[in-house]
Amino acid sequence: MTLAYRRASALGSGPDGRLLGLETSGGSGPRGATSNPRFFAGFLTRPRIAAAGLLAVADVAATRYYQPERRGFLDPVVTGNGDRLRFESFSACCGVHARLDVLQEGLDGGTTEHGTTNVDVNNPLREALSLLGPDDPLHLRVGPDEMAVTTLDGPVVEKKVPLPDRWVRGFGETQVLASAFDLRAELNAAQTARFLRSLSTGTSRASAPVRWLVPAPGGVLRATSRAVPGAVCLAGPERLGTLRRVLRHATGLRVYGPGVRAGSEPVASAWEITLPGMRLTLTLSPAVSRGFSGEGAVLESLAAESAAEDADLLSVLLAWEPRVDIADLAARAGLDTARVRAGLTHLGTSGRIGYDVAEAAYYHRELPFDTSRVERANPRLRDARALVAEGAVRLDGATGLVRSGEVTYQVHERDGELGCTCPWWAKYRGGRGPCKHALAVRLVRRGEVAAVGEAVR
């Protein structure tokens, strides 16, 4: 899918100060698809901080952390949630997700509409934002506005805006992973500055050892050589370098991650800089060489028997909320919370749900994306369904036997976790979600047996 901007975004001069005009491409809103929606027109209460945060999100979109190479810019996605604007991007390697939340206290004098689209962040705009004066008031316009005043001479652009499939898959994976995160450490402004300045600024290397950090008294993150309970994984410390863009404005740093055991494999983590009226969050994949688009965290939920049908029902009930209340949504849908979470995961695979670790809540967005491509974007699930349809799955008590080519693999389940004798599972040990054989067995055990009939016994 390709979209276009009417003109280039620009930072110019208006009667009340500086005017930041962010042009939008095609998007989605409460009334459906819109060619060039308008989400906000008003002042920013902290202009320089917002400019630095927006540049940080744009920096991530322009960076490939694994095997760095020169590349063009990709444009951030912006979502209006009524009380805030969220700017998001992924790195080119899809291993870093950046999100700037401009909260209600960071916006002044305008109504924030609901919807999602891309915004043009071009080189001239980046340069102008970098030079924004400390006392310059800044009026933000997100979307086309014929009354916009600008002093910059720029051509009307017909820039085609692709929405990379890897970004869409990344949106789906990060919301599943982040929903399992808890707050692990909190640093004040001075501690945040010391920590970020202590990190290497070199190029990320896939062979570099993963760091594990444990909170210690005095706001210190103490390094350990391996995972221990309470530790946070930091793979590729250089990937946090973007946070230095806003360091002078930071009021603190919050670190999030899943629970780990002694000797655990590397996991994803989230690093949130708190700012006046805003939050900037970077979510890092478990390794520099691993992009979120291949993590496989969504597959278990997608394989749930009723996930697709539940997702259709939930999509009708969502209303661009900045915080989706799971209990309330379950009551309105007549579903239990487990089915609601599985349904939201299904919606997340098409970019329609995100997760905010700061508020421990899902939020609603709608990408201009064909939701029928969900399964095509998850080939392991597609292959698992094909195995079921071919009658390749046989159940033998607690063990599942899956014929794939000339080989039959054994799938077992221990303590709720699937395992398989296939080479793929031996390589990743569940670190990238279940293999296609384990998914096929899960589908059969959950009742998706119509296509195989008596072949499953």
pLDDT of residue 15: 67
pLDDT of residue 301: 58
Is residue 53 within 8 A of residue 84, CB to CB? The reply is no
The arithmetic mean of pLDDT across residues 87-104, rounded, is 94
Name the residue type at position 397: G
Q: Which residues of 219-229 are buried (b: 16+ CB within 10 A; e: fewer)?
A: bebeeeeebee
Strand stretches in 32-189, DSSP E? 32-34, 40-44, 77-81, 85-90, 96-102, 107-108, 114-119, 138-142, 160-162, 182-188
Higher pLDDT, 136 or 150: 136
Q: Which of 16-20, 342-346, 378-382 has the highest mean pLDDT?
A: 342-346
Tokens standing for residue 29: 């809103």
Q: Which of 132-141, 230-239, 368-377 has the highest mean pLDDT?
A: 230-239
Strand partners, 417: 414
Mean pLDDT, the chain, rounded, equals: 82
pLDDT of residue 192: 96
* pLDDT digit string, tens, across residues 284-329: 999 998 888 655 665 665 656 677 778 878 888 888 888 998 999 9
**Beta-carbon count within 10 A of 178 CB:** 24
φ, ψ at 256 (rounded to 5°): -125, 150
Rounded percentage of the chain residues whose pLDDT exceeds 90: 33
List, in order, residues 6 or more apart from 42 with CB less than 8 Å away: 107, 108, 109, 110, 111, 139, 140
pLDDT of residue 379: 77
pLDDT of residue 197: 92
Distance of CA 220 to CAs 114, 185, 225, 262, Å? 40, 9, 16, 21
The arithmetic mean of pLDDT across residues 94-100, rounded, is 95
Q: Does residue 453 have a pLDDT over 70? A: no
Name the residue type at position 159: K
* pLDDT digit string, tens, across residues 408-451: 999 987 766 778 999 888 877 766 778 889 888 888 887 644 33
Q: How confident is the model at residue 280 (pLDDT cuts 50, 70, 90)?
A: very high
d(CA 189, CA 247): 9
Tokens standing for residue 183: 């707050």
* pLDDT digit string, tens, across residues 146-171: 433 333 344 444 455 666 778 888 88
Total H helices, total E strands in the chain: 11, 26
Decide: helix, strand or coil at residue 208. coil
Distance of CA 400 to CAs 25, 121, 306, 450, Å? 48, 51, 22, 17
Decide: helix, strand or coil at residue 27. strand
pLDDT of residue 246: 96
The arithmetic mean of pLDDT across residues 95-108, rounded, is 95
Is residue 27 within 8 A of residue 13, CB to CB? The reply is no
DSSP conformation class of 431: B
